[in-house]
Amino acid sequence: MKIPSQRRYLWIYFGLLLGVMVISYLAHTMMTPRSAKPIGLDDQAGTDYVSVRDTDGNLILQTGLPVTVNDEFISTDDIHYIITGVKGNQAVAHRKLPDEIGLGTSNKSQPAATLYYPNSLILRTSGKKLAIYHTHNDESYILTSGKAAEPPDGDILNVGDVMAEALRRSGFTIVHNKNNHNPHDINAYNRSRRTAVQLLKDSPDAVFDIHRDSAPLKSYLTTINGVETAQVMIVIGRSNPNMSANLEFARQVKATADQLYPGLMRGIYMGRGSYNQDLYPRALLFEIGTDKGSLTIASNAARLISDVITAVLGQE
Q: 108: pLDDT confidence band, cut at 50, 70 and 90?
A: very low
Provide the pLDDT for residue 39: 30
Taking residues 30-58, what's their average pLDDT?
Answer: 62
Provide the pLDDT for residue 235: 98
pLDDT at 1 > cutoff 50:
no
pLDDT at 46 > cutoff 70:
no
Beta strand extents in the chain (DSSP E only):
50-54, 59-63, 72-75, 80-87, 90-95, 129-133, 173-176, 206-213, 221-224, 227-230, 232-237, 265-271, 283-290
The DSSP bridge partners found for residue 94 are 82
Q: Which of 51-55, 93-97, 121-125, 166-170 has the lowest mean pLDDT?
A: 121-125
Distance CA 83, CA 95 (A): 9
The overall pTM is greater than 0.75:
yes
Q: 56: pLDDT confidence band, cut at 50, 70 and 90?
A: very high
Q: For the segment 77-104, what is each residue's pLDDT rounded down to a tens digit?
A: 999 999 999 999 999 999 998 766 554 3
Q: Which of 110-114, 156-160, 236-240, 307-311 has the lowest mean pLDDT?
A: 110-114
pLDDT at 109 > cutoff 90:
no
